[in-house]
């Protein structure tokens, strides 16, 4: 039982902070400044629900099969939790069995942070007002034919994280950039898979407009946007609606609005006067958890040490290893497609694969083989990186063999194609031998000489042309040598040998 400090419960209501930025005229709305703040709700990628032992479910599972007595709000049940300080938000709705949602209003999980947007030319930093944990609701499905609402409690009580930004964005594009960056961050730390199509990440956006140099306009909130594209369209349409009202001498009423994806415009849900009083109360079952200072420090240190690398750090590290920005972006884009596992378990992605491959090898060679050859082979088969059958060990051995000259680059590529197709787990050296892809041991160059002579004999016309000075035709003779050798000779050696032989005769 922790001491309740009542004065902690008084909310300090500050007027929205607005960062001043250099006036940048937007051709779509000259003279106007757009101000956007975003609330992101992301499902926590956790095996269990926030306050019960029930497992979390995926959409499409059998309704009401992931439910404990607590999730169904049966009398006499209590939440189970090791987390600290939650509040109840009350409203009556069929998808809320307890009549309240457990959230964090008074003492949120975290306060006053920021997010640096990736791939932003201005290095834009968006302030994060607060991050809070809360329960997801159940799902109510209205059956219009039968005129009834059905309730599925599978999702009830799953964990959600709500991330509230400051109104720091100035265009629909910045808003899109913010959500994408946040999504990558959530995935990188394993907090959420951030999948907007499946609804594991949804956004509410606050939009207002004001003339340059003027104070903030009245904001409207657009609820429940479930794709970055729709969010940007919704903001654009809302901006034009506000400007239109203001230019006609009217005011913008403070409202909560929805978004019609078909008409690509927002519509009124409720005005400020109708906004419900949620009667927040600190949850008496989930009081603040008091940790001893020693334990607390140790805990924080442990979490800090186990923090995965954030996208921005990964990019910087990859570039410091000698990768170009573009190569780093490709690796990270592929990495972003990896599975986010439960409860922050590390998952294997493209970056981790690269890191292992580059261990003790040239980073440049590793990234070339990965991006151009491996990803290329997979893409040709319409497969993604998660389908990659080639282990880091196999890939590493293959790269080494090419680097050491045991195999030519061409043979290496052929071998990789074979490995991707056959999904063989055998070592590349064994496979290369089986397939006759090993470079020829030809210390005195006699083999090479024989192939070259053979080629010269087979292509008398071409030989004549080369002798007449048409050097380009040399390539055809080289091609013949390659064909005869099965690609196991180096192009440089062939050129040298041919030059010698052609000069001689």
Partner 1 sequence: MTLAVKDNICTASLPTTCSSAMLAGYTSPFDATVVELLRDEGAQIIGKANCDEFGMGSLNVNSIHGPVVNPFQPTDAYDVPLMAHEPRSAGGSSGGSAASVAARLCTAALGTDTGGSVRLPASYCGVVGLKPSYGLISRWGVVSFADSLDCVGVLARSVDTVKEVFDVISVYDARDPTAASPELRKRASSTAEPCLPKLFSSNTLDGLRIGVPQEYFPLELEPSITSSLRTIIRNLKDAGATIRPVSLPATQYALSAYYVIASAEASSNLARFDGIQYGLRVPPPAGASRSKPSNVYAHSRSSGFGREVRKRILLGTYALTADAFDNYFLQAQRVRAYIKADFNRVFRHPCVHLAHPESCLSADGVDVLLHPSAIRTAPRLAEKRECDTSSIDEYLQDVMTVPASLAGLPALSVPAGLGEDGWPVGMSVVGQWGTDQLVLQVGRVIEGIR
Let me know: does 43 contact 136? Beta carbons within 8 Å: yes
284 binds partner 1 (CB under 8 A): yes
Stretch that binds partner 1, among 18-26, 92-100, 199-207, 255-263 (CB under 8 A): 92-100
Element (H, E) at 116: strand 110-116
Q: Strand, helix or coil at 3?
A: coil
380 binds partner 1 (CB under 8 A): no
In the list 36, 54, 79, 485, the residue contacting partner 1 (rule: CB under 8 A) is 79
290 binds partner 1 (CB under 8 A): yes
2 binds partner 1 (CB under 8 A): yes
Q: Name the residue nearer to partner 1 (CB basis): 76 or 215.
A: 76
92 binds partner 1 (CB under 8 A): yes
- Both tokens of residue 358? 């580059």
CB of 128 to partner 1, least distance (A): 25
102 binds partner 1 (CB under 8 A): no
241 binds partner 1 (CB under 8 A): no
Stretch that binds partner 1, among 78-86, 124-132, 236-244, 325-333 (CB under 8 A): 78-86
Rounded Cα distance between 286 and 51, Å, is: 10
- Both tokens of residue 167? 């109104």
Q: Name the residue nearer to partner 1 (CB basis): 100 or 259.
A: 100
Rounded Cα distance between 221 and 16, Å, is: 14
280 binds partner 1 (CB under 8 A): yes
76 binds partner 1 (CB under 8 A): yes
Looking at the DSSP bridge assignments, the partners of residue 37 are 206
Backbone angles phi, psi at 443, to 5 degrees: -60, -40
Q: Name the residue nearer to partner 1 (CB basis): 101 or 206.
A: 101
In the list 17, 31, 59, 78, the residue contacting partner 1 (rule: CB under 8 A) is 78
90 binds partner 1 (CB under 8 A): yes
CB of 207 to partner 1, least distance (A): 25
16 binds partner 1 (CB under 8 A): no
Rounded Cα distance between 202 and 183, Å, is: 11
Element (H, E) at 221: strand 220-225
269 binds partner 1 (CB under 8 A): no
291 binds partner 1 (CB under 8 A): no
74 binds partner 1 (CB under 8 A): yes
Rounded Cα distance between 334 and 356, Å, is: 16
Let me know: does 399 contact 366? Beta carbons within 8 Å: yes
Residues 150-189 touching partner 1, rule: CB under 8 A, are 151
Stretch that binds partner 1, among 156-164, 274-282, 342-350, 433-441 (CB under 8 A): 274-282
Let me know: does 218 contact 42? Beta carbons within 8 Å: no
Q: Name the residue nearer to partner 1 (CB basis): 5 or 144.
A: 5
Element (H, E) at 205: strand 201-211
65 binds partner 1 (CB under 8 A): no
The strands making up 255-260's β-sheet, listed across from edge to edge, are: 110-116, 125-135, 159-165, 32-43, 201-211, 220-225, 255-260, 265-271
Rounded Cα distance between 34 and 18, Å, is: 11
In the list 17, 21, 69, 422, the residue contacting partner 1 (rule: CB under 8 A) is 69
Q: Report the sign of the C-alpha dihedral through residues 401, 404, 406, 410, in that order.
A: positive
- How would you label 167-178 residue by residue, b for 16+ Cβ within 10 Å and e otherwise? bbbbbbebbbbb
Total number of residues that touch partner 1 (CB under 8 A): 38
Q: Name the residue nearer to partner 1 (CB basis): 19 or 74.
A: 74
Rounded Cα distance between 236 and 172, Å, is: 6
Q: Name the residue nearer to partner 1 (CB basis): 126 or 138.
A: 138
- Both tokens of residue 121? 């030319």
Stretch that binds partner 1, among 238-246, 280-288, 340-348, 364-372 (CB under 8 A): 280-288
Encoded one letter per residue, x for contact with partner 1 by CB under 8 A and - for no contact, window 128-157 reads: -----------------------x------
Q: Name the residue nearer to partner 1 (CB basis): 258 or 376.
A: 258
Rounded Cα distance between 53 and 71, Å, is: 9
286 binds partner 1 (CB under 8 A): yes
Q: Report the sign of the C-alpha dihedral through residues 276, 279, 285, 288, in that order.
A: positive
9 binds partner 1 (CB under 8 A): yes
In the list 29, 39, 55, 81, the residue contacting partner 1 (rule: CB under 8 A) is 81
Q: Give, in order, the Cα–Cα distances in Å from 497 to each of 185, 449, 460, 476.
A: 56, 7, 17, 15
Residues that bind partner 1 (CB under 8 A): 1-6, 9-10, 69, 72-81, 88, 90, 92-94, 97-100, 151, 277, 279-281, 284-287, 290
């Amino acid at each position: 039982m922790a001491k309740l400090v009542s004065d902690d419960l008084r909310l300090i209501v500050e007027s929205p902070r607005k960062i001043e930025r250099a006036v940048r005229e937007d051709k779509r709305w000259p003279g106007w400044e757009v101000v956007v703040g975003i609330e992101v709700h992301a499902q926590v990628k956790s095996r269990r629900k926030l306050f019960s032992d029930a497992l979390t479910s995926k959409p499409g599972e059998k309704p009401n099969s992931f439910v404990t007595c607590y999730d169904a709000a049966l009398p006499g049940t209590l939440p189970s939790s090791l987390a600290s300080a939650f509040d109840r938000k009350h409203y009556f709705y069929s998808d809320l069995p307890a009549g309240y949602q457990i959230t964090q209003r008074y003492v949120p999980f975290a306060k006053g942070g920021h997010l640096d947007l990736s791939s932003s030319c201005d290095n834009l930093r968006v302030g994060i007002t607060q991050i809070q944990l809360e329960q997801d609701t159940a799902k109510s499905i209205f059956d219009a034919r039968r005129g009834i609402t059905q309730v599925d409690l599978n999702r009830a009580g799953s964990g959600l994280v709500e991330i509230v930004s400051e109104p720091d964005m100035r265009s629909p594009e910045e808003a899109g950039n913010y959500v994408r960056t946040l999504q990558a961050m959530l995935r990188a730390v394993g907090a959420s898979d951030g999948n907007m199509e499946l609804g594991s990440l949804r956004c509410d956006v606050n939009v207002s407009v004001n003339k340059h140099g003027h104070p903030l306009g009245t904001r409207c909130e657009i609820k429940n946007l479930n794709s970055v594209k729709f969010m940007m369209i919704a903001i654009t349409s809302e901006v034009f609606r506000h400007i239109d009202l203001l230019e006609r001498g009217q005011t913008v009423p403070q409202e909560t609005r929805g978004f019609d994806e078909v008409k690509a415009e927002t519509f009124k849900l409720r005005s400020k006067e109708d906004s419900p009083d949620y009667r927040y109360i600190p949850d008496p079952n989930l009081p603040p958890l008091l940790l001893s200072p020693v334990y607390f420090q140790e805990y924080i240190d442990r979490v800090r040490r186990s923090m995965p690398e954030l996208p921005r750090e990964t990019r910087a590290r990859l570039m410091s290893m000698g990768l170009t920005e573009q190569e780093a972006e490709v690796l990270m884009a592929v990495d972003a497609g990896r599975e986010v596992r439960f409860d922050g378990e590390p998952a294997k992605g493209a970056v981790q694969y690269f890191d292992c491959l580059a261990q003790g090898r040239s980073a440049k060679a590793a990234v070339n083989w990965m991006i151009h050859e491996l990803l290329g082979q997979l893409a040709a088969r319409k497969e993604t990186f998660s389908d990659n059958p080639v282990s880091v060990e196999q890939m590493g051995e293959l790269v080494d063999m090419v680097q050491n000259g045991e195999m030519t680059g061409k043979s290496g590529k052929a071998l990789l194609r074979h490995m991707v197709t056959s999904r063989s787990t055998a070592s590349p050296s064994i496979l290369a031998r089986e397939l006759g892809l090993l470079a020829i041991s030809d210390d005195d160059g006699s083999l090479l000489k024989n192939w070259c002579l053979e080629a010269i004999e087979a292509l008398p016309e071409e030989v004549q042309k080369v002798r007449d000075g048409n050097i380009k035709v040399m390539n055809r003779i080289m091609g013949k040598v390659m064909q005869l050798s099965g690609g196991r000779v180096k192009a440089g050696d062939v050129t040298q040998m041919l030059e010698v032989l052609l000069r001689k005769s």
